[in-house]
Amino acid sequence: MLQAKLNNGKLITLFQYSKMEIEKLRANQQFFCPTCNEKVIIKAGSKTIAHFAHRSITDCQSSDGGEGVYHEQGKLLLYRWLQAQGLNASLEEYIPSIKQRPDIFLRIGKKKIAIEYQCARIPTVNVQSRTKGYLSGGIQPLWILGANLFQRIGRNLLKVDHFTLQFLQQYSRDYLPVMYFFDPHSNIFLTASNLYQTDKNRMIGILNMEKLKQIHFKNIFKISRIQPNLLINEWKKAKYKFRIYHPKRIYGKEQLWYKWLYYKGTHREQLPSIIYLPVPSQYRMVTPPWDWQSRICLGIIDPLPLEGAFSLSTCRYQLQRSISTESLPLIKSPGDPILEYLMILCSLNLIQQLSKYQFVKKREIIHYTHMEDALIGDNKLMDEILKNFKTKYEHDSHLIRYTKY
Ligand SMILES: [Zn+2]
């Protein structure tokens, strides 16, 4: 933390003092954590920013972001960046109504924003309770992750995990979720936007890097939409990898899925191309897209005769263990991955939507016997989806222009 309490209860912020002044303070004063009142010590080095840290491992909320130099430096740079723009920002301010102390508290007109710069992996419950606390106080939380948690694995590929996925944020229903990162060493602010989850640990998206001082705070929320070509090309690669992948060891849910496929008389190499398609709300599922999508295709649609009907609730019932029960307070859209998937199948004329929740089978699902055919079929199908996405994309961008002006 950047602030501590003195004996007389006054708050002190170190970064405004010179090195000599800090040494003097260190010799003559005692410092206390403003949150838990435990004694804290000064950490200052020649190249690092002076800050306070608890003397021992603590469960104090103030150390949740990580008390290391990296975290403190990032917090301070973000704070100065906001101040330089003339914004009303305060550092480590205590908000009595919700008993929370965000790294930076920002007031813009009537809007209140709590910025949390998170570098340390903390328990999920802590993230959830802090997020919910802010929201209950009418404050919009904005999580910015330390770039130590950023892992790029391709031009448009981001590695994610159960921890980082909690920080998917969506401020407008019109856009796909984003994630923010900041690196105090290089002063680079990273925006990962238009995120589409391909499997448990990967997301396709637009990864944008900019020097902090070159961006205005409000611009971090202005996000342009992913080009359909880019998304489909990345998805083709993911689909190819999926098709040719030979797992060495299978266990857990994956093993259950393999068993289920075997029971259905098929294999991963032979699966219809309509299994494993990109849906924006995949983050609401706990199983990978190929798992739950195959259960709809092979478990529900395939056994039906042509013109046979099924409902959305049948699909939901079948997939109840695949749907995440975790609440997503940072996500504005109520997106339903199952419905999104069915709508793609509609656009491919495989099924038809009769009413809001009723669908009817229109064409037989193509199964493969050779991997080569499957690979060709996958590409063909993705090209067809691209064509549909492009039409929708043009339609949507028209809509947005229309609503804005
Ligand atoms: Zn404390």
Give the whole-angstrom CA distance, residue 290 versus residue 293. Answer: 5
Ligand 1 centroid from CA 72, angstroms: 15
161-168 LR contacts (CB < 8 Å, sep 24+): 161/201, 162/124, 163/121, 163/124, 165/283, 166/124, 166/127, 166/128, 166/330, 167/118, 167/127, 167/143, 167/330, 168/195, 168/283, 168/328, 168/330, 168/331
CA 66 to ligand 1 center in whole angstroms: 12
Structure tokens at 349: 């004329």
In this structure, the number of other CB atoms found within 10 A of the CB of residue 50 comes to 23
Q: What are the domain boundaries of the chain?
A: 1-63, 66-224, 230-396
What rounded mean pLDDT belongs to the chain? 90
Beta-carbon contacts of residue 212 (< 8 Å; ≥ 6 apart): 77, 78, 81, 182, 187, 188, 189
Find the 42 Cα to ligand 1 centroid distance in Å: 14
Residue 322 C-alpha to ligand 1 middle, in angstroms? 39
Q: Which residues contact 70 (CB under 8 A, 6 or more apart)?
A: 119, 146, 148, 184, 185
CA 85 to ligand 1 center in whole angstroms: 31
| Burial of residue 8, with CB atoms counted within 10 A of its CB: 0-12 exposed, 13-18 middle, 19 or more buried | exposed
**DSSP type of residue 323:** B
Contact assessment for residue 339 and residue 356, using Cβ atoms and an 8 Å cutoff? no
Least confident segment among 2-6, 24-28, 352-356, 390-394: 390-394
Q: How far is the CA of 87 from the centre of ligand 1 (A)?
A: 28
* Ligand 1 center from residue 359 Cα (angstroms): 56
> Which of 244-249's residues contact partners 24+ apart within 8 Å by CB, and which partners?
244/371
The CATH class that applies to domain 66-224 reads: alpha beta
Cα of 25 vs centre of ligand 1, distance in Å, is 20
278-337 pLDDT, tens digit per residue, is: 999 999 999 999 999 999 999 999 999 999 999 999 999 999 999 988 888 899 888 899
Distance, in Å, from the CA atom of 91 to the CA atom of 30, rounded to the nearest integer, reads: 21
What is the percentage of the chain residues whose pLDDT exceeds 70? 96
Query: Two tokens at 288?
Result: 């990978």
Q: What distances in angstroms separate CA 55 from CA 58, 59, 63, 280, one per listed residue?
A: 8, 12, 11, 45
List, for residues 40-67, the tens digit of each pLDDT value. 988 887 767 788 888 877 777 777 767 6
74 or 246, which is more confident? Answer: 74
* Contact yes or no for 140/115 (Cβ under 8 A): no
> How many Å lie between the centroid of ligand 1 and the Cα of residue 17?
22
Task: Indicate the angle between helix axes 289-296 and 252-263, nearest 10 degrees.
Answer: 30
* C-alpha of residue 181 to centroid of ligand 1, in Å: 25
Q: Does residue 106 sit in helix, strand or coil?
A: strand
* Residue 398 pLDDT class (50, 70, 90 cuts): low
Give the tens place of pLDDT for each residue, 135-150: 999 999 999 999 999 9
What's the pLDDT score for residue 405? 33
Find the 33 Cα to ligand 1 centroid distance in Å. Answer: 5
Q: What are the residues whose beta carbons fall under 8 Å from the beta carbon of 67, sequence distance 6 or more? A: 1, 43, 51, 52, 53, 54
Q: How far is the CA of 249 from the centre of ligand 1 (A)?
A: 45
Is the four-CA dihedral 119, 123, 126, 131 of positive or negative sign?
positive
Model confidence pLDDT, tens digit, residues 82-123:
999 999 999 999 999 999 999 999 999 999 999 999 999 988
How far is Cα 168 from Cα 165, in angstroms, rounded to an integer? 6
Q: State pLDDT tens for residues 339-371.
A: 999 999 999 999 999 999 999 999 999 999 999
Given a contact cutoff of 8 angstroms between Cβ atoms, the answer to whether 133 and 95 are in contact is no
Distance from Cα 59 to the centre of ligand 1, integer Å: 8
- What's the CA gap between 114 and 177, in Å, rounded? 18
Residue type at 263? Y
